[in-house]
Structure 1
Amino acid sequence: MKSIACISSSVRAACHHTSSACFPLNRALTMCTPVGRCSKEDLSTRTVVAQQPCVTAAVPVRTFHGTRVNTAVVHQVSAAHFPKPGPLLPRKKDDELTLCQFSRPVPMDKTSSPVPHMSPYSPFIKPKGSEAAPVNANVLRLRNEYLDCVGFAVEEDTLSPGEAARVYSLLALCYDAASQQQALMLSTLNRRTQRLVHRLKASQVSNILQALSKLPQREAISLVLRLSNRASRVFKAFSDDEVIKVLSALAIMGQHDEEMLAAMEKHLPGRLGKCDPELISTVMEYCLQMRCRSEPIFEAVAENFVCNAERHSTLQIAKQIVAMGRLNYLPQCSSHMFKKLESILSTRFSHFQPRSLIEVLHACIHLERFPLNYMSRVFSPHFLQRLQAQGEPLDKNALGQLTQLHLSTSLECTHYWGPRLPYFFHVKKFYTVDQAFETPMESLLYKRVKGPLTQLLGGNVYSTKVSTHCGYTIDVEICLDENGYILPLSEWDHTYRRMALFLDGENRFCNNTHHLLGKEATKRRHVRRMGYEVVQIPYFEFEKLRSQEEQVQYLHNKIFPTIFKFNHTCSTRDSSETLIG
């Protein structure tokens, strides 16, 4: 069996992320001889390290010295004459470099000016907007042979946990989706790594998860679940950067479990005061994407915001406030938190990107905190021009957020007399593909409610998916006359009062809780202010009912007290008018 130490050192060099990406191509052929063992004959050689796109022309190409190789292989590779390479391809700017490719140099003309000595394998850097530099066939062959050796070790199941982590990093750098060989190697590596998960260290878990987020994951679901479980067990040992890697990878793969949340709730609150602010914003982004409304985490973030918000960037501040608003969480220190936010907005208003600023203000209205001091600035022609001058046309989400801010001022803040949003910025409907403002009614829940509701009302005297003049969608609408009686569809022209039934499925609530999402809470408030009698039928209450008789009685207890309340209000108004007369 070949020595794994050779593969380990080669993969380590190939997957080195901190300052360079290295492919030691000469050394790739030396990992095993035809009989499967490393040769004892050594020869010193060099491997060029291609810097990441952030390097500049002034930085010299670094080399690794003293690398051991197989003598016979070196003679084969060095049989052809390698002249000195030409200069790097021209480029525009250092921040426009987008690709590093490896290639053997093209023979130079003897009349060419001399250039500094470099290794036979020189990087060709592709500037943005230029044609890709051709990759030499010999280099591709050497790279494939290198991957063959790594694949042989994976197939033989001789990798240690650390070597497995480095192989994942290597595949994340050079994975070719069209290569069946690499796909087979990745599938085998996934199966082998599942048996090593319990031995992985914290840094190895974060590296593998980060690599898997860049690789095909269809066949790695079981591995991701085990890695997530392992991450929850070693969470305390993660550094700030490793926590960011783990949560970012899990968010990309859509993975969430209760053990990870429990580990975060146990270990994160105590380290937020000393950690990198980017970690806090990453945690809040993960909670938002997974709809995790965690009281310990959110309370700790709010307290840290009150104490340390000045050292956070405007984008980090926006991520924290947006997560709390959209998950409908009002912390206990909310008064201090919003005072701090108001102070930051007053001093750093111009530092916020227009889109980020709108998202912050929009999140505030979910928590019934109305930023009236800044509405006049947001609705001003100058700010709207800034918003449009960012190079992209206003998308429906930005217009929807502006429209909801406008509705909050007109429906909930009647004492506001400042500027209003121009009508041509209003959206006609809040429904969007990404469900940013309202979640559509679940068809399965409606089918379960439809029969008992029809039996209770004595027929199909209601309408579904009704659009209001403000753009919201009502799940089920029932119309009443001035005496409080339910009107059939044919007599809806005589409607005096409307009732809105919201069939709230699981997607309208935070994960594993009975708290509505911020967008749904705001929708209920606005619909109620528009004159509707609002009745909520949550899934977790209706699913407990087994027989249709219980379901009918449940709907009766929900709907008719609202009608009786309306009748009582009407009769009181009539009697007061009689006394006045």
Structure 2
Amino acid sequence: LYQGIPTKRDELGQTMILLEDGSNIRELPIIVRKVSNTSIIFSENKTSNGGNALVKVDQDSKIDVSSDKLDGSYKSNSNDLEAQEIIDYFNKCYTARGIFAILETIPANEVTPNVALQALKKIVTLENNKTFRNTVGETYRNIESEANKIGLHENETFTRTAVLSRLVDKILTSRDSDILLNGYLIVNRDIIGKYIDQDNKNRFTNEILCRVTDGKFSINQTCEAIKIFSDITNKFNENVDKLWMGITEKSNEITKNNIMNIVRCLPYLNKSRKVVLSVVEKKLFDFWYTIDGHDVAEILVILTQIKSNSPRILSILSQWVNKNIHTATEDDLIEIINGFCLVNYNNGSIEQALERYVKAKGVSIKNPALMGSIMDYCSKFHVRSPVLLQGAAEYIVVHGNSLSPVLLQRLFLPLGKLFYQPTNGYNFWRVLEATLEEKFIQFRPEEAIDMLLHCVYLQKYPLNFVKKVFNPYFLDRLHSYKNKEIIILSRSKLQILDIAMTLECSQYQGPILPKPLNSPPIWQDGRVKRMTNNIRSILSDIAGSPECMAYNMIPARLPSSDIYVIDALMLNKSPSIKMWPINLERDYNLHTAIIIHTPEHYCSHGKHLLGKQEMRKRHFRYLGLKVVSLDLNELAKLRVHPRALRNYIEEMFCSAELPFPKIVSLAKP
């Protein structure tokens, strides 16, 4: 076998450096070699002989084991055949003892790095398999004791340990970095820990760190090293963050073929993640048109994993979607849309691309989950696109009977949330009602309540399903949940549904549910409260007196919900009635409700209110209130211009929505 012992890597330390990347300054770890004068002299020799020093054989002679010579002999045809014959002999062995016997008979110059790698791999595999065969069902802690008991290493001698150490030495001398990485994987597979000690494993680690720092690893090899370092331990490996130089210093070698390997490394990094991400941002701009839909989906998944919202990468990916959406498969497109939702990113390019896609394919989309993802996108970002929403309505008409309750809900709820009335109204509601009737029992209670409530948003009143919801069996199903938050939220929605049906549907005999005695606290938007305070003087002037104003109140007999909070109520003076206490049924068509709408109350374009807010206004009008809608953003803009602010508010009062004719009463007979 190989008789020389190569010089060990100089002792490694680490330090932190400050790296300036544009306007960003980052603190990154790097390795530091602690060298001596002798090491410096040897390093000069390394330059001339290909990176390996002279190795001491005995006191009288030295042999040169430069990797140039080793690799040269390895590349010769004769040695290549001999090496393959040796490896074939290894594969015929069934015990580690047989491998050692072969190694004792092989001349040192025939043990190439590849032969050493295969020998080490076979030894570790045989010993690990033997241990598992004899300790089935035992824990890792018991494996070692069981190994000793069955005599797993009873014939192990100092010679064998030395042979294994020399195999490691031979692998470390290889100029082929793939052999080095494979060797590192093999030594970390040795769960017994007796043949391959921690010192030899550390030597592999140091060699990899040094080669990456010296720029001897390719981009793909550096990425593989990052993955291997991360996989060998359950905890975060600090050495992973020292490999960033292998990517940043070779950024000019990044191509369309290896850029995805770098992206896949991002979840493994910690302190150096941002600097590597910066490299990806710069290079992805050069290759974005060469990646496919699967790559785009994978990038979005990784950005979600590392909790990064890189604007440059997301802008590039949205550009790809806009240009190449028809080349992506339906499964990839689902992942892409879900990825944009998870990273909370939306822009006009994505919306335009989805509109073109739905126009082109529409009801011919094979996977209904894709249409569900498109509707999830519309719902999350309040995209009120008639093309997309109408596409969902037509999809329900054609495929409604075959849709699962979950998919039916995903397709329908955005229509109600965004207050979109399908143009094929008759067919749409006919299919939806029939499907809901057929599959109602398959809906979870909270899903069924949402379906009915969103019908009311669109001013469609599900009288046929009222008895299915307001019955003991349904309520028992709801209260069987262990999650109390779902129960509380669903009960609140049931009360809103009950009040909505009572106010808007004359055939509904309600209200059915009593108002709860103990109402939970209501969350109120701080922006609205502050703006209300800012315009109090103007509202008081319009009302005629501060006493004619009330703020943040909920009308009597309405559920305690944020949608029934009146931001400001202007009371109309009348000499024939008392102003206080407020009685909306008595004072029908006298008072004015002022609602301040935040940006979240509108669609993404800021033109249409959401269905929930439209229903809110309708209910106040059914209660006999005039409704004045004020836009929070507009109020904020005009706040520094008092006269313009007053003019805007007065203009909104002039265009107030009048109450509906009085037809119902919330008071039970």
Give TM-score scaled by structure 2 length: 0.61
**Counterpart-to-counterpart distance in 2, 1:190 and 1:378:** 52
**Counterpart-to-counterpart distance in 2, 1:274 and 1:246:** 20
Larger displacement relative to structure 2 (138-147 or 251-260)? 138-147
Question: What is the aligned partner in structure 2 of residue 328 from structure 1?
Answer: 419
How far the C-alpha of 1:354 sits from its partner, in A, is 1.7
Flag the 1:74–1:372 CA change in 2: closer, same or farther, 3 A. Answer: same
Match for 1:383 among 474, 480, 494? 474
Question: What is the aligned partner in structure 2 of residue 242 from structure 1?
Answer: 332
> What does 1:76-475 align with in structure 2 at a 5 Å threshold?
82-84=127-129, 85-86=131-132, 109=147, 143-144=228-229, 152-153=246-247, 155-157=249-251, 158-172=253-267, 175=268, 179-181=270-272, 184-217=275-308, 220-275=310-365, 276-393=367-484, 394-417=486-509, 420-421=512-513, 423-424=515-516, 428=519, 431-432=522-523, 442=528, 445-446=531-532, 449-458=535-544, 460-461=546-547, 462-469=549-556, 470=558, 471=560, 472-475=564-567
How far the C-alpha of 1:492 sits from its partner, in A, is 3.6
Question: What is the aligned partner in structure 1 of residue 625 from structure 2?
Answer: 532
How far the C-alpha of 1:312 sits from its partner, in A, is 1.4
- Classify the secondary structure of the residue corresponding to 1:397: helix
How far the C-alpha of 1:281 sits from its partner, in A, is 0.7
**Counterpart-to-counterpart distance in 2, 1:76 and 1:123:** 11
- Equivalent pair of 1:169/1:211 in contact (CA under 8 Å): yes
How far the C-alpha of 1:230 sits from its partner, in A, is 2.4
Question: What is the aligned partner in structure 1 of residue 605 from structure 2?
Answer: 512
**Counterpart-to-counterpart distance in 2, 1:69 and 1:340:** 71
Question: What is the aligned partner in structure 2 of residue 132 from structure 1?
Answer: none
Task: Name the aligned partner's letter for residue 398 of structure 1.
Answer: S
- Classify the secondary structure of the residue corresponding to 1:356: helix
Question: What is the aligned partner in structure 1 of residue 170 from structure 2?
Answer: none
**Counterpart-to-counterpart distance in 2, 1:123 and 1:331:** 61
Q: Deviations over 1:375-427 (max 9, x none)?
A: 11111111011112133224442222111111112222242237933655x88
Question: What is the aligned partner in structure 1 of residue 649 from structure 2?
Answer: 555
Question: What is the aligned partner in structure 2 of residue 436 from structure 1?
Answer: none
**Counterpart-to-counterpart distance in 1, 2:188 and 2:430:** 57
Ranges in structure 2 where 5+ consecutive residues have no aligned partner: 1-49, 53-66, 88-111, 153-184, 191-196, 206-224, 232-239, 662-669
Flag the 1:422–1:494 CA change in 2: closer, same or farther, 3 A. Answer: closer
Flag the 1:530–1:112 CA change in 2: closer, same or farther, 3 A. Answer: farther
Flag the 1:208–1:90 CA change in 2: closer, same or farther, 3 A. Answer: farther
Larger displacement relative to structure 2 (506-515 or 150-159)? 150-159
How far the C-alpha of 1:165 sits from its partner, in A, is 1.9
Ranges in structure 1 where 5+ consecutive residues have no aligned partner: 1-32, 46-67, 92-101, 125-135, 434-438, 570-581
Task: Name the aligned partner's letter for residue 370 of structure 1.
Answer: Y
How far the C-alpha of 1:562 sits from its partner, in A, is 6.0
How far the C-alpha of 1:160 sits from its partner, in A, is 2.1
Task: Name the aligned partner's letter for residue 400 of structure 1.
Answer: S
How far the C-alpha of 1:520 sits from its partner, in A, is 0.8
- Equivalent pair of 1:236/1:267 in contact (CA under 8 Å): yes
CA RMSD of aligned residues (A): 4.4
- Classify the secondary structure of the residue corresponding to 1:270: helix
Task: Name the aligned partner's letter for residue 164 of structure 1.
Answer: I
Flag the 1:83–1:267 CA change in 2: closer, same or farther, 3 A. Answer: closer
Higher helix share: 2
The aligned length equals 472
- Classify the secondary structure of the residue corresponding to 2:301: helix
Larger displacement relative to structure 2 (82-91 or 385-394)? 82-91
- Equivalent pair of 2:322/2:349 in contact (CA under 8 Å): yes
Give TM-score scaled by structure 1 length: 0.69
Flag the 1:543–1:532 CA change in 2: closer, same or farther, 3 A. Answer: same
- Classify the secondary structure of the residue corresponding to 1:161: coil
Task: Name the aligned partner's letter for residue 169 of structure 1.
Answer: R
Question: What is the aligned partner in structure 2 of residue 131 from structure 1?
Answer: none
